[in-house]
Amino acid sequence: MIQLLFLVLFAEGVLAFLLLVKIGPLRELVIKSLDQLKTGKGPATVKTIAGTMSVILLSSLMSIVKIQNKGAKLGTMSPMDQVLWRTHLLEASLMAIWF
């Protein structure tokens, strides 16, 4: 397993080196190969990122509701709860802009 990891790291290093050094046709071959490899992967990537952002947004919203319920039960929110509430609200509002 560790050997596979080192093999992948070595391959990434060689690929980065070939992209960095301008060795004419070899660099162009690497770029074309990467372009062919990435073709058609856009929609899956977008769906994965959107799903991840949705989970984080829902987590922030749940934290906001949990803090509000705690404050309503006690009658007041502690300063720490206020800071956490504002942080989660800012995080959720910034993520909601992208949707």
Please indicate whether residue 94 or residue 22 has the higher confidence score (pLDDT).
94
Rounded distance, CA 84 to CA 64, Å? 8
**pLDDT recorded at residue 63:** 92
What does the pLDDT average to over 12-33?
81
What does the pLDDT average to over 41-46?
78
Angle, CA of 27, 44 and 42, to the nearest 5°: 40
